[in-house]
Amino acid sequence: MLMLKRNKILISGKVTGIFFRKFIHNHALRLNLKGYVKNIGDKVEAVFEGSQENIQKIILLCKSGPPEARVENIEIKKEKVKNLKDFQILR
């Protein structure tokens, strides 16, 4: 039985208006993660549920982002798993 984990991350820097959410969405689907990604002001918030290994992989991807991004900071919080069913880009 796979142990599910949940992390919420907040990414700051040059991360809006450059397809950062789409970048995260595509990688989350590839890594079979559930959750969401959305802009909050000039930051990007994402929640990931899945294996610890795949969450670590996507956090590494978030630290670089798409080519136009300039990530300055990432805050990571552990949360209680809510058994989400899919991964969405929220507006």
DSSP string, 12-78: EEE-SSSSHHHHHHHHHHHTT-EEEEEEETTEEEEEEEE-HHHHHHHHHHHHH-STT-EEEEEEEEE
In the set 6, 7, 21, 54, the catalytic residue is 21
What is the pLDDT averaged over residues 46-54?
Answer: 97
Q: pLDDT-based confidence at 1, cuts 50/70/90?
A: low
91 annotated active-site: no
Instruction: Yes or no: say if 5 and 55 are a contact pair by the CB < 8 Å rule.
Output: yes
In the set 6, 7, 30, 39, the catalytic residue is 39
Distance CA 15, CA 62 (A): 10
For residue 30, give the CATH number of its domain. 3.30.70.100
Tokens of 91: 């507006």
How many domains, the chain? 1
The whole-number pLDDT of residue 80 equals: 97
Quote the pTM value.
0.95
Q: What is the pLDDT of residues 12-48, one digit of tens each?
A: 999 999 999 999 999 999 999 999 999 999 999 999 9
The whole-number pLDDT of residue 71 equals: 97
What is the residue-averaged pLDDT of the chain? 96
21 annotated active-site: yes
Domain that holds residue 75: 5-89
